């Protein structure tokens, strides 16, 4: 098998900048390698190995000190943006400290990092020429387009399905009519066979491939679509409709570790701007965003269920995809083309760094539909929403207790029943609000319902 694509000498978008907390380090995993992201005193984002050279503690568990350096929480070793050790507190002798801090053994490997289009990009190569080599290649950013790419925010989640099945699914648009029935007008009854789906131009290791295809349902049958795969993880899709309008999908599929992939994307539509809601604008900005995220899992849960079931069956036996898949229609061209690129140029799968791919493990519903590890812990809007909900819950509980005491006092002093009923009804409403908020809070943590049978309803 020919492999002339380097998995490490590439730019990877690892997170939207809006998902990062500038005042503290953030751990990430990329191609199996554990890294830490932090911002130094020059407001520059730094990426380095998440390992302290002293006793191998994770630097992401540390903090950024007053000098703008990253300090290990274990013994206080400090590192600057170049990975050089700047302080070892337990060394009092200045000469010994200088010798230790200037040793290659105390240095942490850093990686080229840049910010483009609201995303943090990392060049994963750790060779001596990495900072020079990375300048010869540009990240797969969104191309110039008439649609305003800044009109929508990036959304990121890390899902328990692998890179290959994730990318493959994004080049298989016809599945939406069947898998996502009932969402956004998708329906098997509205599906139509593609009349065109072909590779446009040449396929190569560094430039990937481009597909052009026609519509696949009665609403977009006259559409012209272009899907561009730019290695290692970009899918840029543009739909042009017969009425002159267009839609743009920018998706990134970042291989984090075996069996897991980070999905980063935004969807931009050529349509009438949404009207501003006066009442929503009174709320903290993060709350409507968080509630929107927590209510939009059904479609991605459907994708997850199918991709995971596919991975389960692929793990059984030792057949190649060519022998396992039965590709019969034009709609399958995108799947086949991506698999061919992966086999011909990239070794058939991501090149994991320092980790061994373990035997496939089937996930139960609690693992597959977990929302905390998948999205909420990464998203500042969702995290802040959970914190606010907890505060309001506490208020409701305390308010209910105060109203109950007040009601008893009113009864004791023998006031009219109409007056006594006021704190009683307010207490009941406060208690209802408490339980409703508890249900909303759970929607940020898991797709499994808190009440009734622990079964995820996908349809």
Q: Which pLDDT score, from 0 to 100, does residue 170 have?
A: 96
* 55 and 183 part of one domain: no
User: C-alpha distances in angstroms, 54 versus 61, 99, 403?
Assistant: 14, 15, 57
Closest CA to 105 of 40, 36, 56: 56
> Within 13 A of 35's CA, how many CA atoms are on the CB side?
30
Q: Which pLDDT score, from 0 to 100, does residue 1 have?
A: 43
Give the separation between CA 133 and CA 135, rounded to whole angstroms.
Answer: 5
Is residue 6 one of the residues assigned to a domain? no
Closest CA to 206 of 412, 444, 425, 11: 11
**41 touches 70 (CB < 8 A):** no
Helix (H, G, I), strand (E, B) or coil at 120: strand
Is residue 247 one of the residues assigned to a domain? yes
* 345 and 405 part of one domain: no
* 261 and 333 part of one domain: yes
Q: Which pLDDT score, from 0 to 100, does residue 456 have?
A: 94
Residue 267: how many other CB atoms lie within 10 Å: 12
Is residue 33 one of the residues assigned to a domain? yes
Tokens coding 162: 């692998």
Domain boundary among 323, 353, 376: 376
Q: What's 72's domain CATH number? A: 2.102.10.10
* 226 and 340 part of one domain: yes
Is residue 422 one of the residues assigned to a domain? yes
Tokens coding 267: 């969807």
* 61 and 130 part of one domain: yes
* 127 and 164 part of one domain: no
N residues, the chain: 459
**157 touches 375 (CB < 8 A):** yes
pTM for this prediction: 0.93
Q: What is the CA radius of gyration of the chain?
A: 26
Q: Which pLDDT score, from 0 to 100, does residue 278 have?
A: 67
* 117 and 240 part of one domain: no
* 169 and 310 part of one domain: yes
Q: Which residues pair with 3 in a beta bridge?
A: 346
Helix (H, G, I), strand (E, B) or coil at 207: coil
What range does the domain containing 101 cover?
Answer: 11-136
* 174 and 308 part of one domain: yes
Helix (H, G, I), strand (E, B) or coil at 300: helix
Residue 392: how many other CB atoms lie within 10 Å: 14
Q: Which pLDDT score, from 0 to 100, does residue 272 have?
A: 57
Q: E strand or H helix at 30, and its extent?
A: strand 26-30
Is residue 447 one of the residues assigned to a domain? no
Tokens coding 344: 């011909």
Torsion over CA: 313, 176, 144, 337 (sign): positive
Tokens coding 229: 């795969």
**109 touches 122 (CB < 8 A):** no
Chain segment 369-385, per-residue pLDDT in tens: 999 999 999 999 999 99
* 153 and 218 part of one domain: yes
* 15 and 120 part of one domain: yes
Q: Which pLDDT score, from 0 to 100, does residue 358 have?
A: 85
Number of domains in the chain: 3
Give the separation between CA 5 and CA 8, rounded to whole angstroms.
Answer: 9
Q: What's 340's domain CATH number? A: 3.90.380
Residue 71: phi, psi to the nearest 5? -110, 130
Domain boundary among 376, 402, 424: 376
Give the separation between CA 237 and CA 406, rounded to whole angstroms.
Answer: 61
Residue 252: phi, psi to the nearest 5? -125, 140
Chain segment 402-411, per-residue pLDDT in tens: 999 999 999 9
Give the separation between CA 211 and CA 205, rounded to whole angstroms.
Answer: 16
Domain boundary among 351, 376, 401: 376
Is residue 142 one of the residues assigned to a domain? no
Is residue 393 one of the residues assigned to a domain? yes
* 208 and 342 part of one domain: yes
Stretches where the chain sits below pLDDT 70 are 1-3, 271-276, 278
Is residue 279 one of the residues assigned to a domain? no
Count helices and strands (H / E) in the chain: 12, 18
Q: CB under 8 Å to 450, separation ≥6 — which residues?
A: 438, 439, 442
Cis peptide upstream of residue 41 (ω within 30 degrees of 0) = no
Q: E strand or H helix at 425, and its extent?
A: helix 417-442
């Amino acid at each position: 098998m020919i492999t002339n694509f380097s998995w490490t000498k590439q730019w990877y978008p690892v997170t939207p900048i809006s998902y990062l907390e500038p005042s503290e380090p953030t751990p990430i995993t990329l191609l199996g390698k554990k890294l830490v992201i932090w911002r130094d005193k020059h407001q520059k984002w730094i990426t380095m190995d998440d390992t302290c050279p002293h006793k191998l503690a994770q630097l992401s568990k540390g903090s950024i000190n007053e000098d703008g350096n990253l300090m290990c929480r274990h013994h206080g070793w400090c590192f600057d943006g170049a990975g050089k050790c700047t302080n070892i507190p337990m060394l009092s002798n200045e000469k010994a400290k200088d010798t230790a801090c200037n040793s290659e053994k105390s240095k942490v490997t850093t990686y080229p990092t840049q910010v483009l289009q609201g995303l943090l990009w990392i060049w994963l190569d750790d060779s001596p020429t990495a900072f020079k080599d990375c300048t010869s290649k540009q990240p797969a950013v969104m191309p110039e387009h008439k649609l305003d790419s800044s009109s929508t925010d990036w959304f990121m989640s890390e899902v328990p399905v692998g890179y290959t099945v994730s990318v493959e699914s994004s080049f298989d648009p016809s599945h939406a009519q069947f898998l996502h029935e009932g969402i956004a007008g998708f329906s098997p009854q509205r599906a139509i066979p593609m009349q065109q789906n072909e590779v446009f131009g040449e396929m190569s290791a560094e430039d990937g491939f481009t597909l052009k295809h026609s519509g696949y349902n009665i609403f977009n049958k006259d559409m012209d679509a272009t899907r561009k795969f730019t290695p290692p993880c970009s899918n840029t899709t543009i739909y042009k409709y017969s009425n002159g309008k267009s839609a743009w999908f920018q998706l990134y599929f970042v291989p984090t570790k075996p069996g897991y992939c980070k999905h980063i994307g935004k969807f931009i539509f050529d349509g009438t701007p949404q009207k501003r809601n006066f009442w929503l604008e009174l709320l903290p900005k993060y709350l409507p965003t968080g509630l929107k995220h927590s209510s939009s899992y059904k479609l991605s849960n459907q994708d997850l269920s199918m991709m995971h079931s596919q991975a389960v069956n692929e793990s059984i036996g030792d057949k190649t995809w060519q022998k396992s898949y039965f590709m019969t229609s034009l709609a399958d061209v995108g799947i086949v083309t991506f698999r061919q690129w992966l086999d011909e140029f990239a070794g058939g799968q991501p090149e994991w760094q320092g980790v061994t791919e373990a035997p496939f493990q089937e996930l139960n519903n609690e693992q597959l539909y977990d929302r905390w590890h998948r999205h909420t812990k990464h998203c500042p809007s969702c995290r802040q929403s959970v914190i606010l909900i907890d505060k309001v819950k506490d208020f409701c509980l305390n308010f209910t207790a105060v109203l109950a005491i007040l009601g008893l006092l009113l009864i004791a002093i023998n006031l009219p029943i109409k007056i006594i009923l006021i704190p009683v009804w307010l207490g009941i409403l406060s208690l209802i609000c408490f339980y409703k908020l508890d249900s909303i809070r759970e929607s940020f943590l898991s797709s499994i319902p808190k009440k009734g049978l622990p079964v995820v309803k996908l349809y």
